Amino acid sequence: MTRPFNFSAGPAALPEEVLQQAASEMLDWHGSGMSVMEMSHRGKEFISIAQQAESDLREILAIPANYKVLFMQGGAIAENAIVPMNLSSRGGHMDYVVTGSWSLKSQKEARKYGQVNVIASNEADGHTTVPDPASWQLSRNAAYVHVCSNETINGIELHELPDLKALGCDAPLVIDCSSHIASRPIDWSRVGLAYAGAQKNIGPAGLTLVIVREDLLGHALPITPSAFDYKIVADHDSMYNTPPTYAIYLAGLVFQWIKRQHEGALQGLDAIEARNIAKADRLYGYLDASGFYSTHVAVNARSRMNAPFFLPAEALYEPFLAGAKTQGLLQLKGHKSVGGLRASIYNALPLAGVDALVAYLKEFAQRHG
Ligand SMILES: *Cc1c(COP(=O)(O)O)cnc(C)c1O
């Protein structure tokens, strides 16, 4: 029996192979007589799981040695507070670029911890473009510059991270990459800190990844909870408090799955990225050609991961979603703030899933066009 294709924005589909492996190891991990959920986080079994997960992630994303990988909790929404608590003391204020719902929320939360400057915003065009970095009003002495590199709700992706140094800005770039981490490489020469909730592209909810350059540690405000102080977390190898052990294990299985992928001569993350490009091209290509469905995001800002799209009449949404479900195409409803439909096509969604969706889109358009 084949499983349905799941287009959820998050928590989202995981690779079937990974779920099967987790199921087979559920009661007894590698002869230990324990489920991973039942192990001490300080025992040698779990420490080996966490170390393997970190080293696989470092390999996949080519994380330089002077960056720490932290396994935290609270999700990206907690990071909206944890980032300013840890970094705001480095400068007089914090610069934020607003490109959609998530970055809007990030800058709002940061205001609790200091002065925030919104240095660019696409609010005027309804979050459908990416403001050109050359137009950003970068300020002197910012503690950091924050962007959301993939806006999950609006379907906007920064296909190239800004080169702040080239723009005359010394502040570190902070990216919320929750919904496209491990879908493409990251240019670390442009990034000081990256954070991501795991539940979009790398694992179950409950784990938050923080990848931070070492010189950014040790600046936390005195009010920062110890468990959220990056330096304390780093000094304890993410075991200051009990980390989300099962979520780390599952993310580790996903990292190994990524390493096993290949497309022609491409391996690992390169294969994943090529596949993601092919999937997005196929979906947007059909939507554009259909003359029935519409999209709002500027073509050069379209996310490879999250594609919002719309039907020509409000009355069609209910039959569309009901019909999709009977075809094994799940969770296509758009976010309530944008409306319409949204197909999230993360790493775990195979090209065959996009093909099945396009086939249904065609059939639905023929019936109702
Ligand atoms: C999902 C998401 C969040 C929120 O994550 P939580 O785990 O609910 O805190 C924040 N930013 C982006 C880009 C997201 O996709």
Quote the pTM value.
Answer: 0.98
Query: Is 206 close to ligand 1, i.e. is its CB under 6 Å away?
Result: no
**Residue-wise pLDDT tens digits, 271-292:** 999 999 999 999 999 999 999 9
Q: Is 200 a catalytic residue?
A: yes
Q: Is 259 a catalytic residue?
A: no
Q: Please state the CATH superfamily assignment of the domain spanning residues 263-368 in this structure.
A: Aspartate Aminotransferase, domain 1 (3.90.1150.10)
**Residue-wise pLDDT tens digits, 239-253:** 999 999 999 999 999
Q: Which of 187, 214, 250 is nearest to 22 (CA)?
A: 250
Percentage of the chain modeled with pLDDT above 70: 100
Ligand 1, atom nearest to 153 Cα: 15
**Residue-wise pLDDT tens digits, 302-330:** 999 999 999 999 999 999 999 999 999 99
Q: Is 176 a catalytic residue?
A: yes
**Residue-wise pLDDT tens digits, 12-40:** 999 999 999 999 999 999 999 999 999 99
Same fold, 18-258 and 263-368: no
Query: Is 154 close to ligand 1, i.e. is its CB under 6 Å away?
Result: no
What topology does CATH give the domain 18-258?
Answer: Aspartate Aminotransferase; domain 2 (3.40.640)
Residue 103 scores a pLDDT above 90: yes
10-30 exposure pattern, b = at least 16 Cβ within 10 A, e = fewer: bebbbbeebeeebeeeeeebe
User: Which residue is listed with tokens 């990206």?
Assistant: 76
Ligand 1 centroid – CA 9 distance (Å) = 10
Q: Where along the chain do its domains lie?
A: 18-258, 263-368
Written as one string, the DSSP assignment of 306-345 is EEEEB-SSGGGHHHHHHHHHHTTEE--BPPTTT-SEEEE-
- pLDDT at 1 (0 to 100): 59
- pLDDT at 2 (0 to 100): 81
Residue 334 scores a pLDDT above 90: yes
Ligand 1 centroid – CA 12 distance (Å) = 12
Annotated catalytic residue within 68, 200, 231, 279: 200
Ligand 1 centroid – CA 345 distance (Å) = 16
